[in-house]
Chains A and B, each alone.
Chain A
């Protein structure tokens, strides 16, 4: 269900951007999502297609790219990936079920994941939440990509 809020955020942001940049037709929106949020792409696309009508996005396609963050422990300096904390993620999903905290708020990661070497929660990740990584527009018959 949370996918509907994410689609809402993406659509509102792009509509606002299109208005500021006098863009009338958006062809594609490329969205980056932290993989550990486990958003359902099918539901996200369904929500996007349902909510995009009557806007410069009415014909736009949604492209979703899942990003695997690299974490860095600020306590011991270890750099580690999602696979190094997969057991922690699994246990969290088991405890909370579908609407687990990192599904709703990826920025909560340091609270629920700890450094596999020293156990510290003082960790930072490059990708923390949803990002809009590119918008493809068509103006005067020319396709352009805006990063």
Chain B
């Protein structure tokens, strides 16, 4: 009997779990997770990247600790959105953990968080196929959102995740982040390459594709991403959210 796992499973029951994942680092998973969670009504964002905890940095929560009540670890509130991160427990301490412990810490985050009556739980996963994916699989039947950039190397690496999900009979949504830049007059620039590689990958695994643009202004919202309402969020709302609701 594993009390942590039991509690975590029950906390997720009846909620739609969305896992934002990639085999590749640096493709913008945390940003996509954040904008997605902000665009869904009644969501809690759980940062399962227990080593980098980028979510707290995106929302400007780096020095804050979670409040703990009888209902568990209270998510940070940013308007309607709740955010749960290990950063709210360890502050700025580095986290170095053997694999088994990492899985247990992830389970603890879900088990002890007060998810309340949230409809959606968005999980921001670290890159790769490791404990985080296996842990999540033990807890819930999640919907995968796989993030890549258009670059050939990113698409090739991301295929590992697509193949794994396919074997697990999950049909992911493929998000091509930083796909293009709007230059006006119906012209776009594609500095990281065209969509062909990503589209071929999506076709092989029968996955829908959503492409997100580059918005240089996003950088100035690091630390206050909840205030951003630009073109990337617009695309997330318009094209990504309908697949998840």
CA distance A108 to B96 in the complex (A): 9
A5→B65 contact, CB < 8 A: no
Question: CB-defined interface of B11-36 with A at 8 Å, one 1/0 digit per residue?
Answer: 00000000000000000000000000
Q: How far is the CB of A5 from chain B (nearest CB, A)?
A: 5
B1→A110 contact, CB < 8 A: no
Question: CB-defined interface of B98-138 with A at 8 Å, one 1/0 digit per residue?
Answer: 10110011001101100000000000000000000000000
Contact partner of A104 (CB less than 8 A), chosen from B10, B68, B101, is: B68
Q: How far is the CB of A97 from chain B (nearest CB, A)?
A: 9
CA distance A108 to B50 in the complex (A): 10
Beta-carbon nearest neighbor of A47 in chain B: B70
Q: A101-B89, A105-B105, A109-B101 are in contact. Are A1 and B68 (CB under 8 A)?
A: yes
A105→B70 contact, CB < 8 A: no
A111→B94 contact, CB < 8 A: yes
* Chain A residues, Cβ within 8 Å of B2: 13
B3→A108 contact, CB < 8 A: no
B108→A107 contact, CB < 8 A: yes
Q: A1-B68, A4-B70, A5-B112 are in contact. Are A110 and B7 (CB under 8 A)?
A: no
A2→B94 contact, CB < 8 A: no
Q: How far is the CB of B164 from chain A (nearest CB, A)?
A: 25
Question: CB-defined interface of A96-114 with B at 8 Å, one 1/0 digit per residue?
Answer: 0001010011011111100
* Chain B residues, Cβ within 8 Å of A16: 6
B111→A111 contact, CB < 8 A: no
A1→B6 contact, CB < 8 A: no
Q: How far is the CB of A10 from chain B (nearest CB, A)?
A: 5
B104→A129 contact, CB < 8 A: yes
The 3 closest A-B pairs by CB, nearest first: A107-B104, A9-B3, A9-B7
Taking Cβ atoms with an 8 Å cutoff, the residues of B that contact A are: 1-4, 6-7, 10, 65, 68-73, 89-90, 93-98, 100-101, 104-105, 108-109, 111-112
Extra contacts, 17 of them, besides A4-B72, A9-B3 (Cβ < 8 A), are A1-B70, A2-B68, A4-B69, A4-B71, A8-B7, A12-B3, A12-B6, A17-B1, A47-B70, A99-B65, A104-B73, A108-B97, A111-B90, A124-B100, A128-B100, A132-B1, A132-B3
